Amino acid sequence: MADIFKPEKGTQVLDAVKWAVSNKASLEIIGQGTKRGLGRAVEAKAVLDMSNISGITLYEPEELVMTARAGTPLTEVQAALDDANQMLAFEPWSPKSIYGAEGGTVGGMFAANVSGPRRILAGAARDHMLGFKAVSGRGEDFKSGGRVVKNVTGFDLTKLMAGSMGTLGVMTEVSFKVLPKPEKSRTVLLFGASSETKAMIAAQSSPYEVSGYAHLPRSMAERSSVDYVKNAGQDVTAFRIEGPAPSVTVRCEALRKLLAPLGESVEELHTTNSQALWAEIRDVSYFTPEKQIWRLSVTPSEGPEIAKSLNGEYVLDWAGGLIWLALDPSDDAEVDKVRGAMQSGHATCMRAADAVRAKIDVFQPQDTALAALTKRVRAGFDPHGIFNPGRV
C-alpha cells in the first residue's frame, strides 16, 4: 500500500511535494477520490490526500465570488450557495451514477473541468474559475488569476489548471464565480421529434435563451423518474428555459409554438419536474452499472448521427454536441469504432475496468505537434512527472 499524506495546511502540501521531488517519488493527488475511475489508474509512491485542506475562505454573494480551499467538499459549497440562493452555473455533474461515489471536492471538480447541461449557455467550469494557488511539480508555490472576472494580467494559467487532471500542480485554493439561481425553471418537451437535429437547431436559432438541450431516445426516456418523460412512449427532446417568471412563461410559450410542428406533440415540465429531469441528464443516470461509458464532444449538428452510428445506448446533451454513450463491456471499450465515428472533437472513456483503461488511450490522442507541445507544457510545471503518473 502506498503511503497516504494527509496535510492539514498549505505548507505541508509544499513539504510533501518537495519531498517527492527530491526523492523522485511520484504522488497521486486526490480530493475525495470520487473520480478515480477517470483516466488510467495511477501507480504512485504515495497518495497526497487533500481532503483536510478544507473550508470556504471567502464568500461574497453580492460580488458573485467564492474562494475555497481545494479539499472543501462540494456539499459544503452547495449548502452555502443554497443559503444565498446562488449556484455554480456550469452545473457540475455528480460522480454518483458513473463512479458510484458521491460528493467530490472543489479541487477535483475544477481539475476535471466538470460541467453539465448549462455549459452550452453559461460556460464550463473553466469559464467560472477565476484564480488559484498551487504547488508545482518543482516544489514551488505559485498562483495565477485573482478573484475578479475581468483579468488579462499575465498568462491565464487558471484555464490551464482547469481540466489538467492534477498533472500540472496541486491546487490548494480556488476562487470562482457563482451566480444567482434562476427564479424559475421550466422545460419544454418535444415528443417524437421527426429530426432531433432540426429541432435542436431551430431552438438554438431562436432568441429564447434555452439553457439546456438534451435528447433521450425512447429506451432511455423510459428510465426517467419524471412521469411525463417515462410514459412518453417515444423519443423525448428536452429544452430548458430559465429566468424571471414572466420571461419564462413567454419564452416557453413561444418555444412550444416553434417546436410543435417538428414532432408528435409538446409538453411542459414545471420547476420540480424540470429540476428532476436535468439532474438525471447532468449525472448521466440512465445506464446500468456494467456498461462501459464514453463521453464524446463533437460538432453539435453531427452529434445525433454519430450517436446512432455507434449502436449503443446513448443520451445527447449540449444540443447534440455531447454524446454520452454506453456500450456492452469489451476488452478495448471499442475504442477504434468510437473514435473512428468522429471527424473532429474528442472522446473520453469515462468508465471501464482498470485493465481496459490501462490498454487504451482514455483521452483523445493528439497529433504529433500538439502532443509535443502538451508534453513541453507539462514539463514546465512538473519536470519529473511526479504528479499522477500515467493518468492521462
Partner 1 sequence: MKMPKPDQDIIARRSEIIRRLQAIVPGDGVITNENELSVFECDGLMAYKQLPMVVVLPESTQQVSNILKACQDMGVKIVPRGAGTGLSGGALPLADGVTLGLSKFNKILDIDLDNRCAVVQPGVTNQAVTNAVMDDNFYYAPDPSSKIACTIGGNVAENAGGMHCLKYGLTTNNLLGVEMVLMDGDVIRLGGKHLDAGGLDLLGAITGSEGLLGIITEVTVRILKKPQTARAMLVGFDTVAAGGNCVAKIISSGIVPGAMEMMDKVAIDAMQRFVDSGYPLDVEALLVVELDGPEAEVDYLVERIEQISKDVGSTFLRVSQTEQEREQFWKGRMSAFPSIGRISPDYLTMDGTIPRHRLPDVLTRMNELSEQFGLRVANVFHAGDGNLHPLILYDANVPGDLDKAEEFGSEILKLCVEVGGVLSGEHGIGVEKRDLMGEMFTEDDMKQQQRLKCAFDTSGLLNPGKVYPTLHRCAELGHMHVHGGKLPFPDIPRY
Ligand X SMILES: Cc1cc2nc3c(=O)[nH]c(=O)nc-3n(C[C@H](O)[C@H](O)[C@@H](O)COP(=O)(O)OP(=O)(O)OC[C@H]3O[C@@H](n4cnc5c(N)ncnc54)[C@H](O)[C@@H]3O)c2cc1C
**Under rule CB under 6 A, residue 249 binds ligand X:** no
**Under rule CB under 6 A, residue 277 binds ligand X:** no
Contact (CB, 8 A) for 269 and 236: no
Site for ligand X in 156-215 (CB under 6 A): 186
Binder of residue 247, out of partner 1, ligand X, none (CB less than 5 to 8 A by kind): partner 1
Binder of residue 289, out of ligand X, partner 1, none (CB less than 5 to 8 A by kind): none
Residue range at the interface with ligand X (CB under 6 A); choices 74-82, 264-272, 360-368, 381-389? 264-272
* Nearby residues of 58 by Cβ (< 8 Å), 6 or more positions away: 65, 66, 67, 147, 175
**Under rule CB under 6 A, residue 352 binds ligand X:** no
Measured from the CB atom, the residue of 272 and 309 that comes closer to ligand X is 272
Measured from the CB atom, the residue of 42 and 248 that comes closer to partner 1 is 248
Count of residues interacting with ligand X (CB under 6 A): 8
Task: Find the largest Cα–Cα distance for the chain.
Answer: 67
Binder of residue 270, out of partner 1, ligand X, none (CB less than 5 to 8 A by kind): ligand X
Binder of residue 329, out of partner 1, ligand X, none (CB less than 5 to 8 A by kind): none
Binder of residue 348, out of ligand X, partner 1, none (CB less than 5 to 8 A by kind): partner 1
Q: Give bridge partners of residue 134 from the DSSP assignment.
A: 142, 171
Measured from the CB atom, the residue of 158 and 273 that comes closer to ligand X is 273
Question: CA-to-CA distance for 154 and 310, rounded, in angstroms?
Answer: 43
Question: CA-to-CA distance for 318 and 322, rounded, in angstroms?
Answer: 5
**Under rule CB under 6 A, residue 362 binds ligand X:** no
Binder of residue 269, out of partner 1, ligand X, none (CB less than 5 to 8 A by kind): ligand X
**Under rule CB under 6 A, residue 230 binds ligand X:** no
Question: CA-to-CA distance for 50 and 32, rounded, in angstroms?
Answer: 8
Judging by beta carbons within 10 Å of its beta carbon (0-12, 13-18, 19+), is residue 254 exposed, middle or buried? middle
Measured from the CB atom, the residue of 200 and 248 that comes closer to ligand X is 248
- Beta-carbon-side half-sphere exposure of residue 259 (alpha carbons within 13 Å): 35
